[in-house]
Structure 1
Amino acid sequence: MDKPKAHKTALHEVDGIDQPESISKASIEHVTRLRKKQPTAQELVNGILNGDKTALSRAITLVESTNPSHLEKANDVINQCLPHADKSVRIGITGVPGVGKSTFIEAFGKHLTSLGRKVAVLAVDPSSSLSHGSILGDKTRMEELVKDENAYIRPSASGDTLGGVARKTREAIILCEACGFDTIIIETVGVGQSETAVHSMVDFFLLLKIAGAGDELQGIKRGIMEMADLIVINKADGDNIKKAKLAKTEFNRALHLFPPKNSGWQPKVTTCSAITHDGVADVWETINEYLKLTQENGFFGFRRSEQNSYWLTETINEQLKNNFYTREDIAALLEQNKKAVQNNELSPFAAAQVLLEKYFK
């Protein structure tokens, strides 16, 4: 006796139709071959000097690499680009998370490109101390600016660098300038310690604030306030306009408590809205005022020279540190001393002395 056929319910599955390949295998193989082919240092330099953003991105990736074998090639690229650099205005922008840095930079960048300037944004994203990963989402947040032909956005992970400034941001500035970008914007992660490092590589330091978040009391504190050349109260729109104006008054009072700057510039406070674009043009006008003053009194060139000296010592420190930790004999001895320190058999200071003596022999 034949078995009755199973009754199909409304939830039964129907065999689907196989979809054709959306990308041809030939295209995949072509892209794979291009990726495997590493351009020479001269090819990267030629591309950068011709304004090729792809060559610029590949060069920055090379410079950021921690692979010791890439160091010589990266230095060759930087040295060849150096004579073509130093022809831009470098602007550092910082502020606490949530202040609207990315939105402001997009509005500000679009204003600059509308004036015919070429803008490069070096955005530093925080890296996780656990997974060591980073979102690198600045291109997504600046969706209008990223499509602008006269703009370039490069997000980089901060890694384990203290303060959240990418390890090779200084070199990336040189490469962007050689590529023809006349305005370099460096965005920090806004964690409170990155400001000093950013301040040491830019011409103009801009601090973003928001009203109504208790920031007015921070105006009397030194440190970050003393470094700022301009304080911008962002999100000055809608019901927040009155609060922004009040915050502007408070910060203006605070700035007059600080001693005058060596540049001869009196820091200013202004309000703006990155959404409505009100006040964005005023920010650029203020920066131009600063540049005119410091170029006339010689402070602009003096500061650039001082920054070069500072980054010489910083690079030496970094190279020594990297060389120390990548030496195989040091790595083996380090593990032994770590265990001794953890077991209270040796003090951290004595262990460090043993390692350093081994390193400098």
Structure 2
Amino acid sequence: MDIEELAGKLAAGDRRALARAITLVESRRPDHRETATALLQRLAQQGRQALRLGLSGTPGVGKSTFIESFGMMLTGQGLRVAVLAVDPSSARSGGSILGDKTRMERLSRDPGAFIRPSPSQSQLGGVARRTREAVALCEAAGFDVVLIETVGVGQSETMVAQLSDLFLLLLAPAGGDELQGVKRGIMEMADLILVNKADGDLKPAAMRTCADYAGALRLLRRRPQDPEGFPKAMCVSALEEAGLEAAWNEMRALADWRREAGVFAAVRAQQARFWFAEEVRQGLLAALETGAAKLRMEALAGQVAEGRMTPALAAREMLALLGAEAGQGALPPSG
């Protein structure tokens, strides 16, 4: 694959090239990983940036409907929108449905939008292993807004905050979770809480839920990256497309304030450091999957099971062997 040619097509906004590039970075083949790393390094020199919006919420809250309505509003304003949707993978088969394009039928046909579903595989935190690299590719392709939709499992999905400039939490009215607002975890990460389905018979319940969360947010400790009044809770209706413009105005206001205050660049720098450390951790875990490492692990596990070695001592020996592999290029014989 010609990296320069692919990078040129990406810079020109070629959607097919973007799809190919995302497939490349998601591949686990060693030669593909090497090519993907070279491509990302090449594209990083362009310095293009988009507004990265992370979106989380429990299943059934209407994330896909919200993204479609919100995305259509943005493309109607002349903005180019990329949607990276992460689908849960089966713990048994490893497969994913990847049905986001069918749930966003109008947006998928919009020439100003790009939708890419990806499987979460074994990655925790609500995002896929290579979502951050896919975001970088969308920025290189000239998209103005990149929406990152998590798998939707609830309180543990804080990893998306390390991918986005703004983190949106979508909630349903009268879901019995109003008191979740005082809990730590995902609530501390949210920049904007959007109570969806504020329409029809659910509108009064949505307004009450929004008020509950607004009160809960005032109990949280003030964050240095927020201006006065943030984080805040708002009501929206993805079905009736109500409140979307107001929510977008709040997002832009917060992003502009953070840029002027120097917070925007500082957060991105911190995120880059986080993903560097994450790559190192994932690399160490991958070293355990080699044939020699598996054999040594099995031998040490047998000694632990027989009581001839404690788990802590066996783990220390295994880590020492991994260190030797890093220094010498191969694991010592298991002996």
Could you tell me the TM-score, scaled by structure 1's length? 0.85
CA gap of 1:341–1:102, structure 2 versus 1, over 3 A, is farther
Q: Which has the larger radius of gyration?
A: 1
Deviation at 1:85?
Answer: 4.2
SS at match of 1:84: coil
| Alignment partner, residue 253 of structure 1 | 215
Is 1:92 aligned to residue 71 of structure 2?
no
Return the alpha-carbon distance in structure 2 between the equivalents of residues 77 and 194 of structure 1. 32
Deviation at 1:197?
Answer: 1.1
Is 1:223 aligned to residue 185 of structure 2?
yes
Deviations 1:282-308 (A, max 9, x none): 111110110121112111111111111
Is 1:71 aligned to residue 33 of structure 2?
yes
Q: Is the contact made by 2:155 and 2:185 (CA closer than 8 Å) also made in structure 1?
A: no
| Alignment partner, residue 302 of structure 1 | 266
| Alignment partner, residue 143 of structure 1 | 105
| Alignment partner, residue 22 of structure 1 | none
Deviation at 1:200?
Answer: 1.1
Return the alpha-carbon distance in structure 2 between the equivalents of residues 340 and 141 of structure 1. 52
Name which of structure 1's ranges 157-166 and 328-337 shifts more when overlaid on structure 2.
Answer: 328-337
Is 1:153 aligned to residue 127 of structure 2?
no
CA gap of 1:342–1:125, structure 2 versus 1, over 3 A, is farther
CA gap of 1:194–1:183, structure 2 versus 1, over 3 A, is farther
| Alignment partner, residue 135 of structure 2 | 173
SS at match of 2:222: coil
Amino acid at match of 1:50: A
Is 1:282 aligned to residue 246 of structure 2?
yes
Deviations 1:197-221 (A, max 9, x none): 1101211111101111112111121
Matches within 5 A, 1:52-63: 52-63=14-25
* Root mean square deviation, CA, Å: 1.6
Aligned residues: 322
Which segments of 5 or more consecutive residues in structure 1 lack a partner in the other structure? 1-38
Is 1:357 aligned to residue 300 of structure 2?
no
Amino acid at match of 2:275: W
Amino acid at match of 1:197: M
| Alignment partner, residue 23 of structure 1 | none
Deviation at 1:44?
Answer: 1.8
Q: Is the contact made by 1:234 and 1:274 (CA closer than 8 Å) also made in structure 2?
A: yes
User: Percent identical across equivalent pairs?
Assistant: 46
| Alignment partner, residue 325 of structure 1 | 288
2:154 is aligned, of 166, 170, 192, to: 192
Return the alpha-carbon distance in structure 2 between the equivalents of residues 311 and 106 of structure 1. 29
CA gap of 1:132–1:341, structure 2 versus 1, over 3 A, is farther
Deviations 1:217-256 (A, max 9, x none): 1112122212111110101111000101111111111111
CA gap of 1:129–1:193, structure 2 versus 1, over 3 A, is farther
CA gap of 1:194–1:85, structure 2 versus 1, over 3 A, is farther
Amino acid at match of 2:147: I
Matches within 5 A, 1:223-242: 223-242=185-204
SS at match of 2:17: helix
Which segments of 5 or more consecutive residues in structure 2 lack a partner in the other structure? 325-335
| Alignment partner, residue 109 of structure 1 | 71
| Alignment partner, residue 118 of structure 1 | 80
Matches within 5 A, 1:333-348: 333-341=296-304, 346-348=309-311
Q: Is the contact made by 1:93 and 1:206 (CA closer than 8 Å) also made in structure 2?
A: yes
Is 1:293 aligned to residue 219 of structure 2?
no
Could you tell me the TM-score, scaled by structure 2's length? 0.91
Amino acid at match of 1:351: A
CA gap of 1:132–1:344, structure 2 versus 1, over 3 A, is farther
Q: Is the contact made by 2:168 and 2:194 (CA closer than 8 Å) also made in structure 1?
A: yes
